[in-house]
Structure 1
Amino acid sequence: MLTFDDGPSAAGSDNPTERVLATLARNGHQDGIKAVFFTQTRAWHGGGTDIGRQLIRREHADGHLVAFHSATPLHANHRFMSPAKLEETLQRGVDDLSGLTGRAPSLVRPPFWAYDADTLAAYHRHGMQMLLTDLNANDGKIYGINFSWHKRANMLARLGETRRRWAAGAMAAVDGNTPVVVTFHDVNGYTARHLEEYLGILLDVARELEMPLAARPFYDQRDELERAALASTVRSGDLRPPLPGLWNWLWQ
């Protein structure tokens, strides 16, 4: 299950979100892949612009699942907001996406992976379930040195950890398959240029770890994608699933 955070990009040329959408549609591994896009609806350099809003509409029109990440000009931490401010920004985001796509978002991913029981309860009040991740591409750095020499090693290590959870029966099965959530950032130009390579790496390391793949290993139907995503969400603030990298140490 491919997911993308922080977008859309508002770049006027060589737009990374547009490149990601094009690669998902046509690539050497599986055409017509559908992904979950966790969008920032009011980002000053993204969803808050005409280009950003047009791309959110396109994501939905192309059959992807548009979800919520933030509705503030910057990538604001929900845990650091007052209860009133959090309620305001969540409602704003739900309204933004409802207006742009014609449907309210069913999924949310907190900025910086930062959540607690109170923020989770607020998400639920606004009709959203929280989806974290199983694998993280470590591509969250958007500016400066944002490339990676360790794409395959990172995916192999993270999928190896996921394999142990899967083998222990600790992961949900949906429609006969076990969803494995993978996180990228569609505003990262390096990710956009190398997405097809990342897809190949994911398939290769799954085979190396002897994890059986579906005939079409990436989700390609929005309704199936949404069912799988909802089954993989965190339902209780008492649960402490692992977060990517240093965020696990920082928040938990």
Structure 2
Amino acid sequence: MPVLRSHLLAVSLSLLLNAAAAAEPAPVRFLLTFDDGPAAAASGNPTVHILETLAHNPLQDNIKAVFFTQTRAWHGGGTDVGRALIKREYDEGHVVALHSATTFHSNHRLMSRQALDESMQNGVDDLVSVTGAAPKLVRPPFWAYDAGTLESYHQHGMQMLLTDLSANDGKIYGVNFSWHKRSNMLTHLAETRKRWAAGAMPVSDGVTPVVVTFHDVNTYTSRHIQEYMEILLDVAHELDVPLAAKPFYDDHDELERAALAASVSDPNTKPRLPGLWNWLWN
């Protein structure tokens, strides 16, 4: 009887451990995204520096990211330098997506439906002409969207990707530095961890993608992008967030599948937006 009892206890413990392991959410992999680029600077180009850092760094080489491009920006994608960088992003295995196809950073939510549809088609055509592939992802400028903008995105073959973490580095000119890089990421990841622990986040290829947003036209971000990635790993460790063996994406197709899995299709879900935009739009 003692032997049988010990055996039953061992079996029960094994079942409990297996159930606990099965209930634990999939480990996290950071999905890096960059808005507003590419930059058009002939020298010291921040987009170029970010591409070089993603390709070669002490943390993980050949990291792939999603670049939400402004294909007709007067100081970026609308220039020869900008178009060449969009082609480079694509050729190096990154996911090239659409942010806007207007001269300036136009708010999609405030555009007429006709103007928005024309802009979306222009953006698709621009990226097809440069890369040969239509974009599958779009991110609204200023995070501003409604049912009409989502309908336009879907009509043009794109899904909307928002974000889980934001560097809050959208300030490009003037005071574009940050003294709160780590505390900001810690706060955002702590909130995201609650959804991860509750099993409320999508899983793709066996990992949980956590979307992180930067701006590749921000020179401060460009100079500190390796530090930002180090901070992500550090705060994940502090918050006891298990990371995948590869903490960043390094495969184009896996990255694209993860981004599509994390995309938002329902205008009524109202996921939390970065900073004041959450108060303004939600």
Q: TM tier, shorter chain?
A: over 0.9
* Shift, 1:239, TM fit: 1.3
The percent identity for this pair of structures is 71
Aligned to 1:2: 32
Aligned to 2:257: 227
Q: Which whole-Å deviations, capped at 9, do the CAs of 1:114-135 have from their partners, x for residues lacking one? A: 0001100110000000000000
For residues 53 and 157 of structure 1, what CA distance do their matches in structure 2 show?
36
* Shift, 1:235, TM fit: 1.1
1:161 equivalent in alignment to 2:191? yes
Code of the residue aligned with 1:59 in structure 2: it is: E
Code of the residue aligned with 2:98 in structure 1: it is: F
Aligned to 2:143: 113
Aligned to 2:12: none
For residues 26 and 118 of structure 1, what CA distance do their matches in structure 2 show?
41
Q: TM-score, normalized by length of structure 1?
A: 0.99
Structure with greater Cα Rg: 2
SS in 2 for 1:17: helix
Aligned to 1:191: 221
Code of the residue aligned with 1:164 in structure 2: it is: K
1:137 equivalent in alignment to 2:174? no
* Shift, 1:238, TM fit: 1.7
Q: Which whole-Å deviations, capped at 9, do the CAs of 1:143-178 have from their partners, x for residues lacking one? A: 001001110000000000000010011100111100
Code of the residue aligned with 1:9 in structure 2: it is: A
Q: 1:204 aligns with which of 215, 223, 234?
A: 234
Q: 1:127 aligns with which of 157, 171, 175?
A: 157
Unaligned runs of 5+ in 2: 1-30
For residues 75 and 166 of structure 1, what CA distance do their matches in structure 2 show?
32
Q: TM-score, normalized by length of structure 2?
A: 0.89
Code of the residue aligned with 1:54 in structure 2: it is: A
Aligned to 2:209: 179
1:24 equivalent in alignment to 2:70? no
Aligned to 1:240: 270
RMSD across aligned positions (CA): 0.5
* Shift, 1:237, TM fit: 1.4
Code of the residue aligned with 2:176 in structure 1: it is: N
Aligned to 1:37: 67
For residues 236 and 205 of structure 1, what CA distance do their matches in structure 2 show?
31
Aligned to 2:115: 85
Aligned to 2:243: 213
* Shift, 1:12, TM fit: 1.0
SS in 1 for 2:123: helix
For residues 169 and 155 of structure 1, what CA distance do their matches in structure 2 show?
21
Q: 1:62 aligns with which of 92, 99, 115?
A: 92
SS in 1 for 2:202: coil
Code of the residue aligned with 2:121 in structure 1: it is: Q
Deviates more, 1:236-245 or 1:46-55: 236-245
SS in 1 for 2:69: strand
* Shift, 1:90, TM fit: 0.3
* Shift, 1:16, TM fit: 0.2
Code of the residue aligned with 1:101 in structure 2: it is: T
Q: Which whole-Å deviations, capped at 9, do the CAs of 1:36-91 have from their partners, x for residues lacking one? A: 00000000000000000000000000000000000000000001111110010000
Code of the residue aligned with 1:82 in structure 2: it is: S
SS in 1 for 2:244: coil
* Shift, 1:28, TM fit: 1.2
Code of the residue aligned with 2:278 in structure 1: it is: N
* Shift, 1:236, TM fit: 1.1
